[in-house]
Structure 1
Amino acid sequence: MNRVIAIFTKESFLVPVAAIILGLLTGAVAMLAGGFNPIQAYASLVEKVFGSSYNFGETIRQITPLIFTGLSVAFAFRTGLFNIGAEGQFIIGMIASTAVGISFDLPAYIHAPLAVIAGALAGGLWGAIAGWLKAARGVNEVITTIMLNWIALYFANYVVKAFYLQEGQQRSEMIKDSASISFAWLSQMFDSARLHWGTLLAILAAVFFYILLWKTKSGFELRAVGLNPHASEYAGMNVNRNVVNAMFVGGMFAGIGGACEILGVFHYQSIMAAQPGYGFDGIAVALIGGNTPLGVILGAILFGMLTFGAAGMKFGAGVPVELIRVVISSVIFFVAAHGIVKFFIKPLLQKKEGGN
């Protein structure tokens, strides 16, 4: 029992929890300033998420891609890199899985895994481009990943228009049924919510993240290079190779997320006028989750619930959807501003130290 209490009074746990509470309070103040009832708004948000089995299932669907992109960003951060390109890697995963899903006619037990693997490899290779440019040419990965986001968007649109366009539609042909990863049985339980096997893959990806970084020699090298590349090189580690590997693995996470959106949710690739936004949201998820696998999952749950529940705030309490972004931004701000949060929880920490 004392061990459990100790965990819940640790600073690493209290800081994000306090940041979330402060963010929600800041959002409440913003609603009051706009003449809205924050209690009714938050109640409507909860009602939207948990009010029906369909909405709850759709919330899970909303959370799933955020786990993938959050893991993508967090993995790079853990290895000393800034992967701002999860968005592009996500899109490349989408188009690669679309191509495999449409072009081949295979048994389902081969076709669906092949399409997911194609998305993973494509996203990984897209991330590895930025890693190679940093390792070989010293180009800052923040710049290259942002540029690659836009290249991915226009490249994906080109591929759809040139090879897979559905006549008379601004989208590709439908993928073959054998490539679908929709979870029909579970979907029926949730009133036909668009649930798919990608949610399980996201949990497995988080487990893989943990094992790779903290339980393997390769993970130790990746973390060491991130902490101090010069010392790592002196110790005999190949710094450049580890930089490329880190971006490749991070890109794979985002690529799988993109593949799952196509294979499990939409079953076709749209011609996009703008980026989907999951990659940029993944940056916030990674930050809220402290760049840890479990933290990313919890951050994605929070972010997904706030995002999906925003419609409930609008219809249930008349609050503009944009105000939910104020809440999310406030949470991110307080997570980033550790000093401010620690000021608020300092009495609790001092009380704990005094008790010891």
Structure 2
Amino acid sequence: MSDPHSPHDPNVSRADRAAEVTGAGQADIALEGASAVDPAAGARVVAPAPADDENRWRRAFREIATGNAIISVLAVILALLVGAIMIAATDESVQTAAGYFFARPGDLLAAIWQSVSGAYSSFFQGAIYNFRRPEFATGIRPLTETLTFATPLIAAGLGVALAFRVGMFNIGGRGQMLVAAAAGGWVAFAFDLPWGIHMLVALVAGVAAGAVWAGIAGVLKARTGAHEVIVTIMLNYVAFYIVYYLLRTPGLLQAPGSNNPTTPPMKDTAVFPDLLGSGYNLHFGFILSIVSVVVVWWILERSALGFRFRAVGLNPHAARAAGINVKSMYVYAMLISGGLVGLAGVDQVLGTVTTGFSSGIDAGIGFDAITVALLGRSTPVGVLVAGILFGAFKAGGFAMQAANGVPIDIVLVVQSLIVLFIAAPPLVRAIFRLPAPGAPRTAKKKEAAR
């Protein structure tokens, strides 16, 4: 009598034998890592797999080490370390102690520690909390200053980040902020409207002006193929000289009876209200920036328009083949991007500089927004965190300069180094010995994982 499981049994069809082999293979997979084997399954386990907890932690560490977020964090750490070296090198006491280093090396180390720790302590007290204040209400004021500086950075960074996600480089933030400030500011000081309505009209006017100005670059790219980088750079100059002309022309933006290129003060009915009272500079614009983060997140992650944006940003040719109107996406993206940057300009004239503004109202925020978007990896939450960080740099930098005599230029160097390290992930990974994304594991690690 033949074995019913023998492959030579003529009563067993080819399909039955294939199913039997497949079932055995599936049983091998199902039983991999088990400590016992069911004899009825007909499967053999060569070696038990490692514990699930070990694999889970190993995978989690690898995902963190190869992710993009860790690069941003380590870029900030590296920039702060380089900043510490520059602070120590420019300190006079460190330079003096270095002159007799071989006689008393401990003096140099003590001077370096005192210089760097004092500078970063002043930075913390100027950006987060001032321990020298007797009351919590006054001690927390540095944090409110950080959020105030971060308010326009978040809005403008969102605009640049959204354009990045569509594959466009919006570096026209300065021009978009200037035209938005001019439009919103003109409504704010030239009209008499009830409180609330006046602020809303000025806000809409500024955001619309920024959207239209950026939309010019979107239309030109969609219709003629003009590169948005060149167009937005040229529009920065156009906006600057137009606003400068308006500021020097009586009856337009120039304050009556003044020879200076500045506007009249904004009327109280159009000014953003304070969030924490008159003792703090934090205003309603911060709430608008937080709302913008939520809106942009919803657009990019939950809406059909955001899906089209991301598809065009990944591969415009494939998106066009899938039926997406790529040209329309370019226009829509620049309109929304310009509106967000325009919100930053409105924040400046209705929340920060309410006594009148000049052609320097943008304060370099249009270019800082590019750094914020890069550090935030073009994600809304990342831009929020990066904007607050750069707001802390601005608030804490002034405190470092006032308390320790640290040049404010060092803060600018630190910000530039952050961009440098973010733009060179292999350098950061090499310094911290992190694995590259998708790097093959060594044979020893593969064997241990098996």
Same fold (TM over 0.5): yes
Secondary structure of 1:319's counterpart equals: coil
Q: 1:217-271, CA deviations, whole angstroms, 9 ceiling, x for partnerless residues?
A: 1111111112211221122211111101111100000101111211112225423
- Higher radius of gyration, 1 or 2: 2
Q: Is 1:171 matched up with 2:235?
A: no
Higher relative CO (Cα under 8 Å, sequence separation at least 6) belongs to: 1
Distance 1:267 1:155 in 2: 21
Distance 2:220 2:356 in 1: 29
Q: Is 1:73 matched up with 2:160?
A: yes
Judged with a 3 Å threshold, the aligned counterparts in structure 2 of structure 1 residues 348 and 40 are, in CA distance, closer, same or farther, namely farther
Question: In 2, are the aligned partners of 1:9 and 1:349 still within 8 Å (CA)?
Answer: no
Q: What amino acid is the match of 1:137?
A: T
Q: What amino acid is the match of 2:181?
A: M
The answer for the alignment partner of 1:25 in structure 2 is 81
Q: Is 1:9 matched up with 2:64?
A: yes
The answer for the alignment partner of 1:281 in structure 2 is 368
Distance 2:346 2:360 in 1: 19
Q: Which shifted more, 92-101 or 55-64?
A: 55-64
The alignment of Structure 1 onto Structure 2 pairs a total of residues equal to 349
**RMSD value, Cα:** 2.4
- Percent of paired sites with the same residue: 37
Deviation at residue 67 of structure 1 after TM alignment: 0.4
Q: What amino acid is the match of 1:336?
A: A
Question: In 1, are the aligned partners of 2:429 and 2:435 still within 8 Å (CA)?
Answer: no
Question: In 2, are the aligned partners of 1:93 and 1:258 still within 8 Å (CA)?
Answer: yes
* Bigger share in helix: 1
Judged with a 3 Å threshold, the aligned counterparts in structure 2 of structure 1 residues 6 and 79 are, in CA distance, closer, same or farther, namely same
| Selected match of 1:47 from 114, 125, 132 | 125
Q: What amino acid is the match of 1:76?
A: A
Q: Is 1:196 matched up with 2:269?
A: no
Q: Is 1:216 matched up with 2:303?
A: yes
Question: 5+ residue gaps in structure 1?
Answer: none
Q: 1:258-289, CA deviations, whole angstroms, 9 ceiling, x for partnerless residues?
A: 11211112225423268520000001111111
Matches within 5 A, 1:117-156: 117-156=204-243
Q: Which shifted more, 278-287 or 335-344?
A: 335-344
| TM-score where L is the length of structure 1 | 0.91
Distance 2:334 2:125 in 1: 39
Matches within 5 A, 1:170-319: 170-183=261-274, 186-188=276-278, 192-272=279-359, 276-319=363-406
Distance 1:347 1:295 in 2: 22
Q: What amino acid is the match of 2:71?
A: V
Distance 2:410 2:434 in 1: 31
Question: In 1, are the aligned partners of 2:312 and 2:329 still within 8 Å (CA)?
Answer: yes
Judged with a 3 Å threshold, the aligned counterparts in structure 2 of structure 1 residues 239 and 347 are, in CA distance, closer, same or farther, namely closer
Secondary structure of 2:276's counterpart equals: helix
Question: 5+ residue gaps in structure 2?
Answer: 1-55, 95-114, 131-138
Distance 1:257 1:96 in 2: 13
Question: In 1, are the aligned partners of 2:171 and 2:229 still within 8 Å (CA)?
Answer: yes
